[in-house]
Copies of this chain bind each other. A is one copy, B any other.
Amino acid sequence: MHDEHPLAQDLGFLLSRASGVFAKTASEALSPLGLRVRSYSVLAFASEVETGVTQRRLAELMGLDPSQVVALVDELEGNGLVRRVTDPNDRRSKLVSATSEGTRVRSEGGRRIAEAQSGIMADVKPETQVELNALLRQLVFPDE
């Protein structure tokens, strides 16, 4: 085992690079749908719950500044993929939910991404993939 790279041990560096590999693949897979990776993520969260998700929660889930969520939802709403309604229980919040068209596009996007990325982890044992998934989830969402 050689480690000529000084950053080969640097987990942050490796995560960033690995993330880039996936992001690039996903980006190309989504491009025909007119979606970016970010937009797709928002759409996916908005598709999950019938009643919708607040933008505050979206920012939290995605690790974004709330102001970025505004722009993302603006765009998706403009394309008719999500709707944004004031939460009747708290009129400060807006509930973002997918339209039927949004739900359809989200599914299509999910399929495309899965297909495009299927090769990346092909050499990795399934149980290792499961372990990796659990590890990252614990790291990203420690409270859940």
Contacts and interface: CB of A to CB of B under 8 A. Distances in A.
Nearest to A64: B20
B128 A124 contact: no
A117 interface: yes
Contacts of A128: 131, 135
A12 interface: yes
B41 A7 contact: yes
Contact of A124 (B19, B48, B63, B135): B135
Interface of A: 2, 4-23, 25-26, 37, 41, 44-45, 47-48, 61-63, 113, 117, 120-121, 123-124, 128-129, 131-133, 135-141, 144
Given A12-B117, A15-B18, 19 more contacts: A2-B144, A5-B45, A5-B141, A6-B44, A6-B48, A11-B22, A11-B133, A12-B25, A12-B37, A14-B133, A14-B140, A16-B19, A16-B22, A18-B136, A121-B139, A128-B131, A131-B131, A132-B132, A132-B135
